[in-house]
Amino acid sequence: MTSGGLIDTLTAYTQSRLNAWGREILGGGTWLGMPKVNILHAARYAPTRGTPTGISDECWMTELIVAEVQLEAEDSAVVLRACYTGRGRWSEERRRRAEKLLGRPLSRRKFFALHDDGFQRVRDFFEFMLKSEAA
């Protein structure tokens, strides 16, 4: 992920997209006919309901990617949702939010390992998209 202590461009892009996704979700309004704060409960239906109104195309694409991650690694996707759509300190409030969503406690180590796994899966998806466009 890093080379000589520098974060590569794709990692920075992934971080930027996840941050923007989280900010937009927290921005209020509605999504899938319900308040955006309920996205954590509605996300499993995202791919089947079409493009929602009130969110950007980039946010929607990121949501679809996280929904895809959720099919393969549900715990990692839940932690991503808690991290990027949550408020407060990562190791405290956002970890507690992830624990609530998962219904079980997480050590800090496990929480950050799940975040890193989910982040890498999203990054890999962006890398695949970039390579597909270049071909």
Return the percentage of the chain with pLDDT > 90, whole number. 47
* Number of domains present in the structure of the chain: 1
Averaged confidence pLDDT in the chain: 81
Residue 78 lies in a domain: yes
Residue 113 lies in a domain: yes
pLDDT digits 0-9 by tens, 70-105? 999 999 999 998 999 888 898 899 999 999 989 999
What is the domain range of residue 50? 9-125
Residue 4 lies in a domain: no
> Could you give the CA distance from residue 41 to residue 25 in angstroms, rounded to a whole number?
13
DSSP-derived secondary structure letter, 90:
I
* Residue 2, H or E segment: strand 2-3
pLDDT digits 0-9 by tens, 41-62? 455 445 455 556 667 888 888 9
122 φ/ψ angles, rounded to the nearest 5 degrees: -65, -45
Residue 49 lies in a domain: yes
The structure's pTM equals 0.79
